[in-house]
Homo-oligomer: A and B are copies of this chain.
Amino acid sequence: MIDEQTARERVVTAADRLFYARGVQAVGMDAVRGESGVSLKRIYALFPSKEELIVAVLRHRTDRWNAGITDAVGGAGTPRERLLAVFDFLADWFREDDFRGCAFINVFGELGGGSDRIAGAVREQKESFGREVAGLVRAAGGPDHLAPQLVLLAEGAQTTAAISRDPDMAGHARAAADTLIRCALDDVGEPATTA
């Protein structure tokens, strides 16, 4: 028999793949069994309910996302380039064949209204991404209000790229981010505060 850790990982990655491709409710536990090769009995020993499995999948995806962002950002030089690297990371992702939007947004739309635990797991990921961007903005010497603006661009790019099937959305988001960063850091085009 396989290791508990291995079984857990197989179930989570299989469920992740299926949930992301077809939506959560469209995937039965039996399909998870088939994809993972782990018996139903074992799955229920590892995850007491489907909801628990969904939460585990979301946490797993949060880890992968964070690692991907860290990796993408780490390859860039200046703080400003590090911020823009986030959008290059999105561009690569959007071009993947099985790209179907942000899994967290998808799950939230499907089940966020019905399950607080799932809504919480989604919220956690979005907050951690917000903190990450805020840290990059601070490192670049940008004002606090810049971070949520860049986050909105990234989120919008994800949903719009999924729906329109146009990976160039990452480019539009990157261009907008570049403008916002430039205006915030170089102090041009700011609203006049005295009129």
Contact = CB atoms under 8 A, between A and B. Distances in A.
Interface in A136-195: 145, 148-149, 151-157, 159-160, 162-164, 169, 172-173, 175-176, 178-180, 182-184, 186, 188-191
A61 interface: no
A176 B191 contact: no
A109 B107 contact: yes
A105 interface: yes
B159 A159 contact: yes
Interface string A98-112: 001110111111111
Nearest to A191: B178
A175 to B, nearest CB: 7
A87 to B, nearest CB: 11
Interface in A17-71: 21-23, 25-26
Interface residues of A, number: 55
27 contacts: A23-B114, A26-B114, A101-B108, A105-B109, A106-B110, A107-B109, A108-B109, A108-B159, A108-B162, A108-B163, A126-B163, A126-B164, A145-B175, A148-B169, A148-B172, A149-B176, A151-B156, A152-B152, A152-B153, A152-B156, A152-B169, A153-B153, A153-B156, A155-B159, A156-B157, A183-B183, A188-B188
Contact of A154 (B119, B122, B148, B156): B156
A162 to B, nearest CB: 7
A109 to B, nearest CB: 3
A80 interface: no
